[in-house]
Amino acid sequence: MEAIQVGLLGLGTVGSGVVTIIKEHQDKLVHLVGCPVEVKKVLVREKEKERQVAVGQDLLTTSPYEVIHDKDIDVIIEVMGGIEQTKEYLLEAVKEKKHVVTANKDLMALYGSELLAAATENGCDLFYEASVAGGIPILRSLVDGLASDRITKMMGIVNGTTNFILTKMSKHGSAYSEVLKEAQELGYAESDPTADVEGLDAARKMAIMARLGFSMNVDLDDVKVKGISAVTDDDISYSKRLGYTMKLIGIAQRENGRIEVSVEPTLLPDYHPLASVSDEYNAVYVYGEAVGETMFYGPGAGSLPTATAVVSDLVGVLKNMRLGVNGRSAVAPQFDKQLKHPEETFAQQFLRIHVKDEVGSFAKITSLFSERSVSFEKILQLPLKEKGLAEIVIVTHRASQKDFAEILEQLNNLEVVEQLKSTYRVEGNGY
C-alpha cells in the first residue's frame, strides 16, 4: 500500500498534536482510508528549536513553497495562523492541486468564500472543522448530521478564554484584571488578549457557523460584537442575585428569511444548561425545525482536541480521494443574505442605573418604558453609599433593539438619572 503524503504548515501547539495523532493512530487511519498516512514535510520558523514532538530534521523546512510545490504531497494541513500571507499560500496550494485542511478561523471568517471557490475550481477539498470550537464537531454536524433540517438558531459559548475569566469572576468574586492576569499565566489568554476579551474571536466563529447553518454569505462585519472587558464584579453580583449567570454568548438566529448574528455578554438563568459550562469549555445549542434542540459540549481549544478535528478532516479528504469525489463537497449558499432590522430584533434586557434618590424618580424612568410598551420582569431598588443616590436594576420583558436603544438614549438625557452603569442581553427565559 502506497502511503498518502501530508505537508504541514506550522508545528506549534496544534501542529504538534496533529503529528502525534497521525503517528499514534496509524492503525486506525489505515483501517479507515486503506493505506498509511505519512507527514513528509513540515514548515517551521526555526529548524533547531526544541519541540513538543519528535520530528526528524530532514522533514523540517523554513520555506513554505518547499511544502506547497512538493509533487509527492497530496494534502496540506495549515496550522500556522495568520491571514493575508496564509491566504496566498493556500490559494497556491489548491492551484497545485493539493487538498487543504485548516484550523484558521480568522482566515475562514474573512476569506472562506474565496478559498472554497478556488478549491472547488481546482477539484480540491478545503475542510475547516477545527476552526470553530476545537474538539467539538459542530461544523460537520451542521453540514452533514443536520443537513436535512432547517436551522433556526445557534447559540453558545465558543471562546474558552472569556468563559474561564467569567467563571472565575462569578465563582470567586475576583476582579476582571486579576482573572485576566491568571488566564495569561496559565496560557489560556495571549499576552495581547484583545481578540478574545473584546469578542472578535467568538465573532469570527459565529460568522462561520451562520454561513454554514443558514446557507448565506455571512461576513464578519454582519456580527454585532461586544466584549467582556467592561464587565464588573457588581454586574455579576446583581445578576447572581436575580438568578442569572453571565456568559459571553454567540447567537445566530433566523426568522422569516432574515438573520441576526451577535456576540455579547449575556445573562442566562442559572438552570439553563449553558450556565453550567465552566472554565475553558465550549458548548453550542443548535435549534432545528425538525430535530428541536441539540447541544454540543467539549474542550474548545488545546493541542489534542483541536488536532483531533484537524485529523478528522484529513480522514474526510482521504476518503474522498479513494472515492474520486474531491472538490465536490463545497455547496454555494442557497439564500441571499438578509439581515434583520433593529425593529425586528427582540431580546430581554438587563440594566443598572444610578438615579437621584428622590420622590418621582422611578415613575419618570418607568414612563419611558411604558411609552414603548416595554414591561419589567424583575426590579431591584437599593440605596447607594453616595448620599442622595439609589441604584435600580431592571430585567425587561422582550423588547426590540430599536425601542431599547431609544429608551437608553432618553435615560441618558433624563435629569433624575445620574449614570447608566451597564446593559446586557438576557436569554433562555423561554420568551
Catalytic residue set: 205
Full DSSP string of 200-245: HHHHHHHHHHHHHHHTS---GGGEEE--STT--HHHHHHHHHTTEE
Q: What is the 3-state composition of the chain as percent helix, strand, coil, each rounded to the nearest 5?
A: 40, 25, 35
Burial class (CB in 10 A: 0-12, 13-18, 19+), 399: buried
Question: Reduced to 3 states, what is the DSSP secondary structure of residue 348?
Answer: strand
State which amino acid sits at residue 51: R
Order of strands, sheet of 4-9, starting from the edge strand that comes earlier in the sequence: 60-61, 37-43, 4-9, 73-78, 99-102, 126-127
DSSP 57: G
In contact, 226 and 233? CB cutoff 8 Å: no
Radius of gyration, CA atoms only, the chain: 24
- Between the alpha carbon of residue 308 and those of residues 17, 19, 44, 98, 130, the distances in Å are 8, 11, 21, 21, 8
Look up residue 339 and give its DSSP letter.
B
Find all residues with CB under 8 Å of 22, minimum gap 6, and list them.
Answer: 6, 29, 37, 38, 39, 311, 314
Burial of 116 (0-12, 13-18, 19+ CB in 10 A): buried
CA distance 76 to 126: 10
Beta pairing class for 244-255 and 258-269: antiparallel
CA dist 76 and 367 (Å) reads 62
Contact 280, 247 (CB under 8 A): no
Name residues whose C-beta falls within 8 Å of residue 371's C-beta, 6 or more positions apart in sequence: none
DSSP 8-class letter at 143? I
